[in-house]
């Protein structure tokens, strides 16, 4: 494993990422060797590298194994050695770790296990990796996605794909290069691959709800996990391990979690909003272990044509939970959540078909895109727009200002730390509406 205590300046971090593109496979197109593998004339394997070996990255690796019998997990990279080794142990002991013929489907070795801020570079330099899973804390996603496209890799990347407008623009630029290279990109907005949502949206497009005029969306729940600080942790290490609660790492829960619901509303509305006005605060989670994020947000989004969406998200124990989207049309309304979708009104309908795990389906769809057995997929720009929808909501709740799409897209707001090193890193102040400036 690499030394995870090495210091990397932000400029060096980005510069090294760009250098990975040198010598990448031409165009990122399906190589003859890869085509042969998938046709059965070679090793018949789809080699996958995992960057970010926490619960979601490990879970995504399992989903990839579920999605296609040819998948092999061949490399793992994480900031922390214990997370990389823990993920590997989990995968090795999984029921899917062994193929029907007795061969191993998890072929990670000491030489293909990496840690440290530069671990992703070592993994992306492995020639025979076909696609990578990007599942680190969201702050790192633009850097890793940019580097993966430069390295000629197909990509599955978890949502959100950035925490600030600067990162969003990086993702949009890299997604455009992915198209030029014919690389496939799928994002972890799994509702886009979930059959009940797909059937609902088909009905909306067919006009069964009439004209879409407004929406509501919710992700209200109790609290989540906290990684308590240990004496040996530097500020940087603790923040990275406790990443949910620091805006520079997670984007706040409106971005990290509520993006799912906002993405569905954008889907129904046919694109992102034109402006928003929000309010929020930090009412219950006030201890230092909760970093600097809010525990509740409410945002009024306005879409083209004056259509509005009222968005709510909350993480407060003891409160009522609600996770769903409500779309209002001139002929009725729809209600959707994982595994469930209905239309109420003139064209009443309820989802009733067989359900497939969308966390697995999104990898199956990516593999179909890579191999040419399905439509070409590049979800990079779309998920970047849904990410910015959440970010602009946070910008409004933090400042108390109305934020337009144009302002958010062009904002110079950049939450990056001054350097990537396990040293002191001051926690940014909690935002105060009316006092925190809109950048």
Looking up tokens 């350097």 gives 419
Can you say how many angstroms the Cα of residue 320 is from the centroid of all Cα atoms in its chain? 26
Asked if residue 223 and residue 143 are part of one domain, the reply reads: no
User: Residue 90 falls within a domain, yes or no?
Assistant: yes
Residues 70 and 165 in one domain: yes
Residue 253 · residue 244 · CB < 8 Å:
yes
Q: What angle do CA 426, 241, 421 make, to 5 degrees?
A: 55
Give yes or no for a contact between 48 and 73, defined as CB atoms under 8 angstroms apart.
Answer: yes
* Residue 417 placed within a domain: no
Same domain, 185 and 202: no
Residue 439 lies inside a defined structural domain of this protein: no
Beta-bridge partners for 31: none
Q: What is the pLDDT of residue 43?
A: 53
Q: Are residues 179 and 207 in the same domain?
A: no
β-strand 212-221 against 308-315: which pairing, if any? Answer: parallel
Residue 268: CATH number of its domain: 3.30.360.10
> In this structure, are 214 and 240 located in the same domain?
yes
Check residue 151 and give its pLDDT.
98
Same domain for 19 and 115, yes or no, is yes
Residue 284 lies in a domain: yes
CA angle 306, 307, 311 (to 5 degrees): 125
Residues 48 and 165 in one domain: yes
* pLDDT beneath 70: ranges in the chain: 1-43
pLDDT of amino acid 13: 41
Number of domains in the chain: 2
Same domain (yes/no): 46, 115? yes
Q: Is 84 left (phi over 0), alpha (psi -120 to 50) or beta?
A: alpha
Residue 433 resides in a domain: no
Residues 321 and 392 in one domain: yes
Instruction: Say how many C-beta atoms besides its own lie within 10 A of residue 42's C-beta.
Output: 13
Q: Do 53 and 201 reside in the same domain of the chain?
A: no
Q: Check which CATH number belongs to the domain holding 43 and give it.
A: 3.40.50.720
Q: Are residues 346 and 250 in the same domain?
A: yes
- Residue 374 CB-half CA count within 13 A: 14
Task: Give the C-alpha separation, 150 to 261, whole Å.
Answer: 31
3-state secondary structure of 277: strand
Nearest one of 165, 392, 385 to 275, comparing CA atoms: 392
Q: State the Cα–Cα distance between residues 48 and 234, nearest whole angstrom.
A: 32
Contact criterion met (CB below 8 Å) for 112 and 123:
yes
In terms of residue numbers, what domain contains 170? Answer: 8-191+363-378
> Is 427 part of any domain?
no
Residue 302, in any domain of the structure: yes
Identify whether 435 is part of a domain. no
**Do 169 and 272 sit in the same domain of this protein?**
no
């Amino acid at each position: 494993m690499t030394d995870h205590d090495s210091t990397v300046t932000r400029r060096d971090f980005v510069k090294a990422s760009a250098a990975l593109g040198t010598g990448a496979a031409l165009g990122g197109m399906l190589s003859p060797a890869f085509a042969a593998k998938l046709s059965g004339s070679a090793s018949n394997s789809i080699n996958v590298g995992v960057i970010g070996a926490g619960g979601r990255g490990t879970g995504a690796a399992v989903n990839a194994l579920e999605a296609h019998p040819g998948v092999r997990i061949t490399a793992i990279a994480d900031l922390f050695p214990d997370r990389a080794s823990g993920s590997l142990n989990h995968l090795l002991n999984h029921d899917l770790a062994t193929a029907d013929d007795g061969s191993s489907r998890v072929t990670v070795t000491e030489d293909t296990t990496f840690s440290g801020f530069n671990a992703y570079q070592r993994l992306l330099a492995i020639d025979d990796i076909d696609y990578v899973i990007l599942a680190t804390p969201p702050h790192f996603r633009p850097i890793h996605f940019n580097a993966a496209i430069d390295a000629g890799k197909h990509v599955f990347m978890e949502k959100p794909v950035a925490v600030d407008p600067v990162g969003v623009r990086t993702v949009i630029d890299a997604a455009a290069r992915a198209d030029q290279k014919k690389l496939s990109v799928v994002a972890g907005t799994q509702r886009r691959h979930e059959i009940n949502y797909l059937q609902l949206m088909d009905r909306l497009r067919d006009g069964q709800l009439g004209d879409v005029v407004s929406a509501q969306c919710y992700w209200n729940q109790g609290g989540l996990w906290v990684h308590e600080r240990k004496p040996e942790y530097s500020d940087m290490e603790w923040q990275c391990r406790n990443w949910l609660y620091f805006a520079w790492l997670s984007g706040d829960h409106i971005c990290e979690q509520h993006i799912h619901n906002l993405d569905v509303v954008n889907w129904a509305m046919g694109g992102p909003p034109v402006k928003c006005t929000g309010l929020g605060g930090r009412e219950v989670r006030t201890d230092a272990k909760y970093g600097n994020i809010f525990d509740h947000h409410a945002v009024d989004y306005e879409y083209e044509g004056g259509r509005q969406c009222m968005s709510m998200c909350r993480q407060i124990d003891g409160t009522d939970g609600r996770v769903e989207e409500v779309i209002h049309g001139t002929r009725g309304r729809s209600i959707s959540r994982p595994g469930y979708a209905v239309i109420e009104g003139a064209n009443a309908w309820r989802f009733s078909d067989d359900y497939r795990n969308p966390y697995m389906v999104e990898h199956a769809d990516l593999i179909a895109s890579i191999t040419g057995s399905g439509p070409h997929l590049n979800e990079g720009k779309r998920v970047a727009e849904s990410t910015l929808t959440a970010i602009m909501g946070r910008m409004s709740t933090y400042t108390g200002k109305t934020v337009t799409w144009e302002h958010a897209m062009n904002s110079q707001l950049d939450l990056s730390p001054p350097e990537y090193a396990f040293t002191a890193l001051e926690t940014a102040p909690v935002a105060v509406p009316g006092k925190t400036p809109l950048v």
